[in-house]
Amino acid sequence: MPSKTKKPKASWKLSPALESTAQVDIATRYKNYIDGSWVAPSEGKYFPTKNPATGKKLSEVAKSTQPDVDLAVKAARKAYDEVWSQITPRERGKYLFRIARLIQERAREFAIIETLDGGKPIRESRDVDIPLAANHFFYYAGWADKLEYAFPNRKVAPIGVAGQIIPWNFPLLMAAWKIAPALATGNTVVLKPAETTPLTALKLAELFSDAGLPDGVVNIVTGDGTTGAELANHPGVDKIAFTGSTEVGKSIQKSAAGSNKRLTLELGGKAANIILEDAPIDQAVEGVVNGIYFNQGHVCCAGSRLFVQESVYEEVIQKLKQRIDTLIVGDPLDKNTDIGAINSREQLKTIQKYIKIGIKEGADLYQPECELSTVGSWCPPTLFTNVAQSSVIAQEEIFGPVLAAQTFRTVPEVIEKANNTPYGLAAGVWCDKGARLFQLTNALDAGVVWGNTYNQFDPTSPFGGYKESGFGREGGLHGLSAYLHTSSH
C-alpha cells in the first residue's frame, strides 16, 4: 500500500527569496535566426512557449518547416565555404572567447530565462547551467588553435555543416556542448532547440550578433519533432549531433544509415547509485538526493536506481526519507527551492503513469506531505522501496523525481543488477575503499562513473553512453574528434 508519512513540522520556515525578473527581456515573438538575421518562418506559423510553473505563455516562436531548415542549412554551407573555413583557427578562438565572456556578463538574465522557460530551480540554472555553458565556450576556445596538439601526428579537417538537435532538460548547456566544439574545429551549425525550451538558444543568437560572429556560422531554427526530422534528413548536413530520447535517436540512426553523414547520439539512461556498507552514509544520501531530485529528475544521467548493501539498507532509507521530507518543492524562481516545476504537462503525465505502475507492481511508495500549487506542473520527490529487479520502474527511464531502491548482498551481485539494463550512461559508487571503487567502476557498463560524488560536470571531461544510451562523446578532447576528419599526414 502506498504510505504517506506526515512531514515533521519544521521549527522554522524560510521566507520566500524570489529572483526578480525585472531586468529580463523576452520578446513577444521570435523568428528563426538564419544567416545573421531574424527570418519569419515560411508558413508564417508560430507556437507558444510557456512557463511550466504557471502555465502562462512567455513568448511565441517560429514553427519551422522544410523550406526554413533548407534556408538555414544553405546559410551554414555558405558561411562554411566562404568564411569559417577560411579564417585562421586563432580567429575562430577569439569569437568563442568573446561568446563565453558575453554569457558570463549576461549570466543572470540567462539563468532567469532558463528557469522561466524550463521550470528548473533558479539556484540550479544560476550555479550549474549557465556557468557550465560559459565554461564550455572558454574550454573549446582554447583548443581552436591547438588542434595539432590535440591530435599529434594526425591531419585534421572540419566536417562541414553540423545539424544539432537538443532536448529540454539543459537547454543552454546542451546548445553550448554542441556549438562550442563544432565552431572551434571549423564547422558551421544549424541548431534546433526543444519545443518547450527554445528561449535561451534564441537569446544566445542575440549574443552571437553582439559578438560579431560572421553571418550564417550558427543558425537557429525552432519547431517540433518534424522540424528536427527535416534537419536530420537534410542532404546538406554533414554531421548530426543529437541529444534526446533513445526512441528518436534510433529513428535518426535509421534515416542516416547509408548516407555519408557522421552521427553522434546522446540518449536516455537509467543510472545506478550504489551504496556499499562502508560508505560515508550521510554523504551518500546527499549524493543520492542530488542525483535524482536535482532538476526534477530531468537528467539523462539521473541516479534513478538505488542499490544499497543489505547491512546498511535500513539506515540509508531512514536517512533518505528524512532528507526527502526537507526538500522544498515550489516556485522555481525562489532561491530556496530544491525541486521546481515539471517541464511540461506531457512529461508530468508520463511520470504519473510510472508512479501508478510502481504502486501496481507492489513496490512501497514514499512521498513527503507537501502542498503543491494548483497551477503549473509539479511532482513531489518520490521513493519506491521493495522494488523487484524486473519491475518497469527499475527498467525504464522515467525522467522525473522518482527513485527505485533495491538491496544487494555482494559486489558481484550488484554489478550484475546494475548492468542489467539496456542503458549505459552513468553510475555512482559510494564506498570507503579505493580498490573496491576501482573494481566497481571498471565493471560497470556506463560512460561515466562517479566515485563518492554524483552529477559532477566539467568541460574537460568526456560524457556519453554505451548500449542504448548512444555513442560518441561530448566534452574534453573526445568532444573535438566528433567534429573532425582525422587522417595520417
Q: Which residues bind ligand NAP (CB under 6 A)?
A: 165-169, 192, 194-195, 224-225, 228-229, 232, 243-245, 248, 251-252, 266-269, 300, 397, 399, 425, 465, 469-470
C-beta of 198 vs 303, nearer to Mg ion:
198
Q: Which does 117 bind (CB under 5 to 8 A by kind): Mg ion, ligand NAP, none?
A: Mg ion
**Long-range contacts, stretch 205-208, CB < 8 angstroms, 24+ apart:** 205/33, 207/99, 207/102, 207/103, 207/106, 208/33, 208/99
How far is Cα 246 from Cα 425, in angstroms, rounded to an integer? 12
Q: Which does 228 bind (CB under 5 to 8 A by kind): Mg ion, ligand NAP, none?
A: ligand NAP
How far is Cα 230 from Cα 256, in angstroms, rounded to an integer? 12
Q: Which does 49 bind (CB under 5 to 8 A by kind): ligand NAP, Mg ion, none?
A: Mg ion
Q: Which does 167 bind (CB under 5 to 8 A by kind): ligand NAP, Mg ion, none?
A: ligand NAP
Q: Does 117 bind Mg ion (CB under 5 A)?
A: yes
* 97 burial via Cβ count (<10 Å: 0-12, 13-18, 19+): middle
- Smallest gap from Cβ 14 to Mg ion, in A, equals 26
**Annotated catalytic residue 266:** yes
Using the rule CB under 5 A, which residue among 196, 264, 304, 455 binds Mg ion?
Answer: 196
C-beta of 35 vs 117, nearer to Mg ion:
117
C-beta of 334 vs 397, nearer to ligand NAP:
397
- Smallest gap from Cβ 253 to ligand NAP, in A, equals 11
Using an 8 Å Cβ cutoff, are 408 and 310 in contact? yes
- Smallest gap from Cβ 37 to Mg ion, in A, equals 24
**Annotated catalytic residue 230:** no
CA Rg value for the chain: 22
Q: Does 125 bind Mg ion (CB under 5 A)?
A: no
Centroid of chain to Cα 400:
13
- Element containing residue 288 per DSSP (H, E): helix 281-292
Q: Which of 60, 124, 195, 266 is catalytic?
A: 266
The candidate with the shortest Cα–Cα distance to 463, out of 449, 484, 483, 442, is 449
C-beta of 257 vs 435, nearer to ligand NAP:
257
All three cell numbers of 489, joined, read 599526414
Site string for Mg ion, 21-50 (x = CB under 5 A): ----------------------------xx
- Smallest gap from Cβ 184 to Mg ion, in A, equals 29
Q: Which residues from 49-108 bind Mg ion, rule CB under 5 A?
A: 49-50
Amino acid at 249: G
Q: Can you tell me whether residue 128 is helix, strand or coil?
A: helix
How far is Cα 143 from Cα 10, in angstroms, rounded to an integer? 50
The candidate with the shortest Cα–Cα distance to 466, out of 268, 303, 225, is 268
Centroid of chain to Cα 4:
31
Q: Which residues contact Mg ion (rule: CB under 5 A)?
A: 49-50, 117, 196
Residues with active-site annotation: 266, 300
